[in-house]
Amino acid sequence: MEKELNKAVLAQVNIPEDTAEIFAETAHRFEELMMMYQCAIQEVTTKLEVLNHEMSVRNNRNPIETIKYRIKKPKSIAEKLSRYGHKVSIESAFENLNDVAGVRVICSFIEDIYTISDMLTRQDDIRLVQIKDYIKNPKPNGYRSYHMIIEIPVFFSDHKQYMRVEVQIRTMAMDFWASLEHRVRYKNDISNTSEISERLKKCADIIAATDTEMQNIAEEINVL
């Protein structure tokens, strides 16, 4: 029934039947892959929520402020595969891309970032693939965040599949800066790009100093 519906829809835009069948099959496989990534995100966010709840009971404080997540759009997947010289296909996306599924964890303090990442990766069903610490080693533009690529098992009806998820952990101040920098980077009508970039870099340095000082104060008053 679903296949017939897809063929009918594609026929309306004058796609040949044989091409329509290939398109419908590819669309179905892509939808299934996105479902698998969505399930992986649910697994990761559940683990993070459990850790946050445990810490709130044991330490009377929630280290995690918010948890956000996203799945890359098809256009972004295709562009990244092409940019890195990979075949643009569903199989290629699964094999070559680590960040199709992304989870962003916003913490109050820098110390919380390393605490959460350590607790998450110590769980015996998590495989740590890669770490990029842009807090200790900021990007030239001032970007700071802690990135991990992990693999997490997802149990489906007929098999278990390890899925890769990118986890970004940062403070609220880092997240605010990254959000503005992202908007500037993709805004095409800015004439004074270099000046704006320089001002953003100064803001990143101020934010880093503020994060450090806020943690020092929290430690002095026994908040951490």
Reported as a single tens digit per residue, the pLDDT across 16-65 is 555 556 556 778 889 999 999 999 999 999 999 999 999 999 988 999 99
Please, which residues have CB within 8 angstroms of residue 71's CB and are 6 or more apart in sequence?
34, 37, 38, 41, 100, 101, 102
Q: Is a pLDDT exceeding 90 seen at residue 154?
A: yes
Name the band, by pLDDT with cuts 50, 70 and 90, for residue 182.
confident
Name the average pLDDT for the chain.
89
Distance CA 42, CA 47 (A): 9
In this prediction, residue 21 carries a pLDDT of 60
Determine the average pLDDT of the residues in 170-181.
95
In this prediction, residue 24 carries a pLDDT of 64
**Three-state secondary-structure class, residue 163:** strand
Determine the average pLDDT of the residues in 144-159.
96
In this prediction, residue 220 carries a pLDDT of 94
Distance CA 72, CA 107 (A): 23
Percent of the chain whose pLDDT exceeds 70: 87
What residue type is assigned to position 207 of the chain?
I
Determine the average pLDDT of the residues in 127-155.
97
In this prediction, residue 192 carries a pLDDT of 78
In this prediction, residue 122 carries a pLDDT of 96
Q: Measured between alpha carbons, how far is residue 54 from residues 64, 104, 119, 147, 203 in Å?
A: 11, 19, 11, 23, 34
Name the band, by pLDDT with cuts 50, 70 and 90, for residue 2.
very low
In this prediction, residue 28 carries a pLDDT of 84
Sign of the CA dihedral with 55 first, then 57, 60, and 62 last: positive
In this prediction, residue 5 carries a pLDDT of 40
In this prediction, residue 4 carries a pLDDT of 46
Determine the average pLDDT of the residues in 64-70.
97
Give yes or no for a contact between 101 and 37, defined as CB atoms under 8 angstroms apart. Answer: yes
Q: Is a pLDDT exceeding 90 seen at residue 80?
A: yes
**Three-state secondary-structure class, residue 153:** strand
In this prediction, residue 83 carries a pLDDT of 92
Decide which of 125 and 22 is more confident: 125
Q: Is a pLDDT exceeding 70 seen at residue 13?
A: no
Tell me the pTM.
0.86
